[in-house]
Amino acid sequence: MTLILSIAIIITTLTSLFLVIRFRNLRCEGPLPAPLFTFIAILFTSGLDVGLIMFPLVDFQAYSTDPTYSFTNPLAYEFGFWGFLVWAFYFLTTFYFCIVEPKLRLFEIPLIKFVNNVVIIGTCAFTGYLFLDYLPDYIVGIGDTARFLLVAVVILLAALSSTHLRFIAILSVSSTWMFFALIAGIWLYSGMGISGLAGTLTNIGGYFANIHRFVLPVSDYHQFYLYWWFAWSVMIGQFVARFVGGIRTWQLLLALLVVPSIPIAIWFSVLYWHFDNGVAVDGLRRVAMIVVGVIFVINSLDSLIRLYTRNLNLTVERLGVKLYVAGNWLVMFVLVLLYQFTPLEIEWVGLVVIGIYSAVYVMVLRRRRELAI
């Protein structure tokens, strides 16, 4: 599995470099162009979930004690697993669905369409299952009844939000501002000040000094992350491409690699300062993290629900709001429950997505004359 993943990463990375060099000034615009901040907010909140908020508190400890992670500092590892270069997956798929797919319509081929929608539905439910599974780590002492009830409510809110793109956009922008407020609040409460934040941020340099090491898996855990990015890449690119607002290819790359990485770097630095100084993040700060994390989960699920329902023509317009919401809630909640009895791993989903990439690469090369770009 590592070899397949490594080959896929090398090919997609080289493809992204080729696109930026060859089509750097090509104008990219989706059918529903949005202002840049709205586009970034939709991308940021759709492509990330509660793990961004909560995982660093656990990951820092692992990176500081495991000899596998000895070539740089824990903050650099966490940033490398979540920021900058990994967003190139989203760049590649966003470019494809913005520029290539409207001309070739490869995702309308029955087999690709079927597999793609199975992946979307499966990953959507798997995201809900991971949230359910990790809830005891986020909310200490939560009982099973409260855990299942919270997941049911989250899925319901996601189904409601997915009924209109306006709701998704409003929730995405609002949760982005809430994330910024969370960063500011915990930073101010900590007393670390500008100097403490700046000093901690310098640790991010350990990532850029070793960026070549982060291209391929450095550990099994890193491999899990990379497969996760692959599993999400086609879906997120397919969804957010419609909101690209007429920017050039090189600007799209910067918008996806640099802009989301800035708040990620600041957030991780604030949390790392707490870890490095032995300061617990608890009380109201922990509650605020959970609230923002839950909203991120809703943002992720509503985007995926919106995507597969449009692909399958199971829209609000066709079914009506009540049937649409009830149907999606029931399907997602039942699948989340079923995941508890299956051995499914995200790596398997990632392998299927790599298979989709392979098929698309072959067909694009065969029909490249039709592109005319």
Angle at 93 between CA 117 and CA 206, to 5 degrees: 120
Residue 5: CA count within 13 A, CB half-sphere? 25
Angle at 3 between CA 52 and CA 255, to 5 degrees: 40
Residue 148 has pLDDT above 90, yes or no: yes
115 falls in which pLDDT band (50, 70, 90)? Answer: very high
Residue 341 has pLDDT above 90, yes or no: no
Domain of 178? Answer: 2-370
pLDDT (tens digit per residue) in 220-265? 999 988 998 988 999 999 999 999 999 999 999 999 999 999 999 9
Residue 191: its H or E element: none
pLDDT (tens digit per residue) in 125-139? 888 888 888 888 778
**Whole-number percent of the chain with pLDDT over 70:** 99
Q: How far is CA 210 from CA 80, 205, 206, in A?
A: 10, 9, 6
Residue 256: its H or E element: helix 249-257
Confidence (pLDDT) at 116: 92
- Taking alpha carbons only, the member of 364, 373, 280, 366 closest to residue 107 is 364
pLDDT (tens digit per residue) in 40-65? 998 888 877 778 888 898 899 899 99
Confidence (pLDDT) at 265: 96
Residue 123 has pLDDT above 90, yes or no: no
Confidence (pLDDT) at 337: 87
State the pTM of this model: 0.91
Q: Strand, coil or helix: what is 187?
A: helix
Residue 268 has pLDDT above 90, yes or no: yes
Tokens 């941020």 correspond to what residue? 201
- Taking alpha carbons only, the member of 152, 67, 71, 188 closest to residue 332 is 152
Confidence (pLDDT) at 373: 67
pLDDT (tens digit per residue) in 183-195? 999 999 888 999 9
Residue 371 has pLDDT above 80, yes or no: no
Confidence (pLDDT) at 242: 92
Is residue 295 within 8 A of residue 175, CB to CB? The reply is: yes
105 falls in which pLDDT band (50, 70, 90)? Answer: very high
- Domains contained in the chain, number: 1
Identify any residues that bridge with 235 across adjacent strands, giving them in sequence order: none
Sign of CA dihedral 129, 237, 12, 48: negative
Q: Over range 77-88, report the average pLDDT.
A: 94
322 falls in which pLDDT band (50, 70, 90)? Answer: very high
- Taking alpha carbons only, the member of 315, 318, 297, 298 closest to residue 306 is 315
**Could you tell me the two tokens for 90?**
């989203």
Q: How far is CA 118 from CA 4, 132, 292, in A?
A: 21, 21, 28
- CATH of residue 341's domain is 1.10.4160
